[in-house]
Copies of this chain bind each other. A is one copy, B any other.
Amino acid sequence: MQANEQKRTEISTLGEFGLIEHLTKKFAIKNASTFKGIGDDAAVIGKSDPLTVVSTDLLVEGIHFDLMYFPLKHLGYKSVVVNLSDIYAMNAVPKQITMSIAISNRFSVEALEELYEGIRAACKNYDVDLVGGDTTSSNKGLIISVTAIGEGEKDKLAYRNGAKPGDLICITGDVGAAYLGLQIMEREKQLYLSNPGIQPDLEEQKYLVGRQLKPEARRDMVDVFRKAKLVPTAMIDVSDGVSSDLMHICRQSGVGAFIEETGIPVHEEAKLMALKFNLDPITCALNGGEDYELLFTINPKDLDKTKLLPDVFIMGEITEKDEGIKFHTNGGRIVDLEAQGWKHF
């Protein structure tokens, strides 16, 4: 009954970020209380200090998670944590979440209890209150929508657009492990499908599988920054991958960057597993995503403070925009950094 479309442009021609930009470019901001709209880890609203920070995520079964190997309790936990991570990435503190789920009648009450057990554990660990949501049915598996709300002091918020040439690029922990954890589980799934009698043994890969199934957000860093009286000039959490997320900072700050291969922390188990899978460990580290470490930039005058911080690795430096975004290999080559990230479309 709807008219046939005259013209058809495929979504894939724009990509996820291009699509959001395209669809929202005509929207105007009207309210004085809208401090920062679309385009950061979270929106910032309010009139008085502290400001309110809001982030939202939509997770769809079969796209973002596979219930063949993702236990519901872990899924509940992770779906909260990844949203809180966006709030920490603003150098703010999450206080509340809302959680909406759509479920088919394939799920039992007991299965949902598992999911909510994980949600509750995350709320407890991160001192966050579940304040609302919506529960509805789905004709299509499980859909989870989480909104996290937090507080951030106006002069301490870290946006994506504040990086300046000369700033140091830092990261709070090793990257690539979550991606390799996912590869392990995908492999086990294939083995299981071909022979359901085989019981997977994931104990040996506990670290990698844990990074995928039970990530933690870097709540501690907001405290660390406060105590060190340090405010990152820009910050983002590593959800899409170091390359892709660094590019967000560069694009929004209007700068270039380089990172050094030696500066990228990769866990020993991740290196070994990458080789087992015939993957380049550094490619996994740069493009893997879902590590939920914080990637941030600091003013070089804060270098001494930064050196004293626990768990902070300096990966590279922000440069002028026309220098591009580069990767310095151990072998001394300089190559363009490419963002592969996740391509859902």
Contact = CB atoms under 8 A, between A and B. Distances in A.
Contacts of A149: 45, 52, 54
A147 B149 CA distance: 11
B60 A136 contact: yes
Interface string A168-189: 0000000000000000000011
B107 A11 contact: yes
Given A54-B131, A60-B102, A136-B344, A109 B13 contact: yes
Interface in A1-52: 1-2, 5-14, 16, 19-20, 22-24, 26-31, 33-34, 36-38, 42-43, 45-46, 48, 52
Given A43-B96, A95-B34, A123-B27, A134 B58 contact: yes
A151 interface: yes
B134 A57 contact: yes
Given A105-B12, A129-B29, A24 B116 contact: yes
Contacts of A36: 131
Contact of A98 (B56, B100, B137, B140): B56
Main secondary structure of the interface of A (DSSP, over half): mixed
B37 A131 contact: yes
A58 B11 contact: no
A98 B27 CA distance: 12
Contact of A109 (B1, B11, B124, B344): B11
Number of copies of this chain that the complex holds: 2
Contacts of A105: 10-12, 345
Nearest to A33: B95
A71 B27 contact: no
Contacts of A43: 96, 98, 131-132
12 contacts: A1-B188, A5-B108, A5-B110, A9-B108, A11-B108, A22-B109, A23-B112, A34-B95, A38-B131, A38-B132, A56-B132, A57-B100
- Across the A-B interface, give the 8 residue pairs with the lowest CB-CB distance, nearest first: A140-B140, A43-B131, A145-B145, A9-B109, A58-B100, A137-B344, A43-B132, A8-B108
Given A6-B110, A9-B110, A27-B130, 19 more contacts: A1-B188, A2-B68, A10-B105, A10-B109, A11-B107, A19-B112, A27-B123, A28-B124, A29-B129, A45-B149, A54-B98, A56-B145, A56-B147, A98-B147, A100-B145, A102-B143, A105-B345, A137-B344, A137-B345
